[in-house]
């Protein structure tokens, strides 16, 4: 299969060697009363992408891609949360572990830590609970991908400039081919989203490929003809 990209290149991949990453589509990031909103973020741009991410997720399932959902969060005793990170969250106005409208901010098992209803994982889909921004940090994601023979990754989720970008950069350093679907990612400040996308495209695609949901779905439609 091949997906046409913004710079005129094609992202060429085999479905059996490709995983769709749905990054951190959690209530704490996407919903009012969650960590991001209480810290001053505008959740409206994140809500805009929900229908597109759901459409891509369903298409990827039908295509047989391996589906990986990630969640950022910490143990209830905060033993896996560095003090510096906790202090930064305090400065932002939503200290990790503090009580919020959706439960303790970014704590595993709390209502806010879990996925938005529209993007609930199906049984058998991989869930990676991560204590950092990047999905490879202190997780077994790399080993699981390599054991399955995955070489190509397709990125959706939030926020573009933080957890999506951190995971994509980690993946590039590990030798994976990476495609970002830019209209299936978002940030509280969409200027930061645009800057993050430009970084991927710079230097002839230093961090991979950038395309859209429409082009991905078009590629699937051509395959089915």
Q: Which of 24, 30, 183, 184 is catalytic?
A: 24
Per-residue pLDDT tens listing for the chain (225 residues): 999 999 999 999 999 999 999 999 999 999 999 999 999 999 999 999 999 999 999 999 999 999 999 999 999 999 999 999 999 999 999 999 999 999 999 999 999 999 999 999 999 999 999 999 999 999 999 999 999 999 999 999 999 999 999 999 999 999 999 999 999 999 999 999 999 999 999 999 999 999 999 999 999 988 776
- The DSSP code for 33 is T
- The DSSP code for 121 is P
Helix (H, G, I), strand (E, B) or coil at 52: helix
Give the pair of three-digit tokens for residue 107. Answer: 């704590």
- Rounded distance, CA 27 to CA 45, Å? 14
Catalytic, 24? Answer yes
The interaxial angle of helices 213-224 and 50-63, nearest 10 deg, is 30
Residue by residue, DSSP assigns 133-178 as SSTTTTSSHHHHHHHTT--EEEEEEE-IIIIIHHHHHHHHHTT-EE
Q: CA geometry: angle at 72 spanning 11 and 180, to 5°?
A: 15
Q: Which of 28, 30, 130, 185 is catalytic?
A: 130
Q: What domains, with CATH codes, occur in the chain?
A: 2-224 (3.40.50.850)
Residue whose C-alpha is closest to residue 148's, from 14, 17, 57: 17
**157 CB contacts (<8 Å, ≥6 apart)?**
21, 22, 23, 24, 25, 53, 70, 163, 164, 184, 185
* Model confidence, pTM: 0.97
Q: Which of 5, 30, 163, 185 is catalytic?
A: 163
Catalytic, 184? Answer no
- Rounded distance, CA 178 to CA 152, Å? 6
Catalytic, 225? Answer no
């Amino acid at each position: 299969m091949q997906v046409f990209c913004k710079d005129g290149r094609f992202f060429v991949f085999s479905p059996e060697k490709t995983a769709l990453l749905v990054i951190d589509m959690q209530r704490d990031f996407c919903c009012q009363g969650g960590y991001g909103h209480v810290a001053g973020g505008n959740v409206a741009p994140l809500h805009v992408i929900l229908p597109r991410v759901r459409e891509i997720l369903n298409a990827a399932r039908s295509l047989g891609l391996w589906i990986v959902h990630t969640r950022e969060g910490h143990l209830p005793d905060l033993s896996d949360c560095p003090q510096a990170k906790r202090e930064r969250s305090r400065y932002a106005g939503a200290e990790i572990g503090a009580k919020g409208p959706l439960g303790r901010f970014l704590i595993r098992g709390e209502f806010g830590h879990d996925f938005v209803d529209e993007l609930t994982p199906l049984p058998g889909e991989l869930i990676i609970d991560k204590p950092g921004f990047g999905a490879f940090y202190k997780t077994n994601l790399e080993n699981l991908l390599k054991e399955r023979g995955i070489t190509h990754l397709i990125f959706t989720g939030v926020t573009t400039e933080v957890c999506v970008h951190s995971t994509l950069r980690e993946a590039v350093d590990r030798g994976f081919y990476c495609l970002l679907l830019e209209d299936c990612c978002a940030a509280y400040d969409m200027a930061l989203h645009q800057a993050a996308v430009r970084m991927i495209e710079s230097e002839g695609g230093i961090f991979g490929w950038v395309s859209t949901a429409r082009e991905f779905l078009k590629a699937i439609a051509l395959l089915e003809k």
